Amino acid sequence: MSSENNSLYWQANVRLMIMCLVVWFVVSFGCGLLLVDVLNNFQLGGYKLGFWFAQQGSIYVFLFLVFFYAFRMNQLDKKFNVQE
Partner 1 sequence: MELKTLTYIVVFASFALYFGIAWWARAASTKEFYVAGGGVHPVLNGMATAADWMSAASFISMAGLIAFLGYGGSVFLMGWTGGYVLLAMLLAPYLRKHGKFTVPEFIGDRYYSKTARIVAVICLIIASLTYVIGQMKGVGVAFSRFLEVDYGLGLGIGMVVVWVYAVLGGMKGITYTQIAQYCVLIFAYTVPAVFISLQLTGNPIPQIGLGSKMVGEEDIYLLDKLDQVLTDTGFKEYTTAKLGSSLNMFAYTASLMIGTAGLPHVIMRFFTVPTVKDARSSAGWALVFIACLYTVAPAVGAMARMNLMSTLQPAAGPLEYEARPQWFKNWEQTGLLKFEDKNGDGKIQYTADKETNEMVKVDRDIMVLANPEIAQLPNWVIALIAAGGLAAALSTAAGLLLAISSSISHDLMKGVLSPNMSEKGELMASRVVMTLSVLLAGWLGLNPPGFAAGTVALAFGLAASSIFPALMMGIFSKNISSTAGIAGMLAGIGITLFYVFQHKGIMFIPGTAFLGDMEPNWFMGISPNAFGVVGAIVNFVVAWVVTKMTGPAPQEIRDMVDNFRIPAGAGAADTSH
Q: Which residues of the shown chain bind partner 1 in the complex (CB under 8 A)?
A: 1, 3, 6, 9-10, 13, 17, 20-21, 24, 28-29, 32-34, 36-37, 40, 44-48, 51-52, 54-56, 58-60, 62-63, 65-67, 69-70, 73-74, 77, 82-84
The SS3 assignment for 31 reads helix
What is the smallest separation between the CB atom of 69 and partner 1, expressed in angstroms? 6
Q: Compute the Cα dihedral for 50, 56, 60, 63 and give only its sign.
A: positive
What is the smallest separation between the CB atom of 33 and partner 1, expressed in angstroms? 6
Q: Rounded distance, CA 20 to CA 4, Å?
A: 25
